[in-house]
Amino acid sequence: MGSERRTSWKDMTPEQKKQYFLDYYLVRTLIGAALILFAVVCIRDVLKPKPDYALQIGIYDVSLSDEEKKDLVYRVQKTLNTAQPVSVDDAYSSLSNDDLLRIATFSTAGKLDLIIADREVFEWLAGYGYFKDLSKSLEPDSYGKWQDSIVVCKGLAMTESGLLEADAEGNGEPYAAGIRVQNSGLLKYLKELKDPVAGIILESEKGKEAVKLLEME
């Protein structure tokens, strides 16, 4: 037929058998091992327990040194009377619209509880509906305590059917979106902000801890 007949395994020399293994089996073995390793790593990451943070804080337009951040984490833990880890992220910038996506992603994933920003920036963020309505989410006594510091902002505009209107951001009903940070030890870390306001992320379950943070001495 004009084609060479394949040499059988028993007729191969040791050198031919070695070369056949390298050509045929080794590559497949390495690929299989790599795929198994990749699967193990993915499963490990999914099953790996996530840290149970006492509070996860995002701060806009403030640059903290490592030492300041470490000190803030310590004081948050002291204020909340907890040894649980605290997350402080000061990488948010009002100059970047990409951070809007970060807020949406982190809040949905349960990685963000509280945002602190200068009032003008905060009102802009509130227009996207990121924050809880404090008049509904806080206990009456707690809301009454902070009532004079409440910041009311316009949220998302909704149609009667519950759908978002076009150009919905900041055109909706006013709601109690945040609390001005006043007479609080937090101000030590917010010197770059003229009128800092704190808002609790809509999906967060750490509302009590977030409000208690504002009582920092």
**In the chain, where the domains are located:** 13-47, 55-213
Contact status, residue 62 vs residue 192, Cβ threshold 8 Å? yes
Res. 157 pLDDT band, cuts 50 70 90? confident
Question: Across all residues in the chain, what is the average pLDDT?
Answer: 85
> Would the pTM count as exceeding 0.85?
no
Q: Taking the domain 55-213, which CATH number applies?
A: 3.40.190
Calpha distance 81→52 (Å, rounded): 15
For the purposes of burial, counting CB atoms within 10 Å of the CB of 158, is it exposed (0-12), middle (13-18) or buried (19 or more)? Answer: middle
Averaged over 41-65, what is the pLDDT?
78
- Per-residue pLDDT tens over the stretch 81-94: 999 999 999 999 99
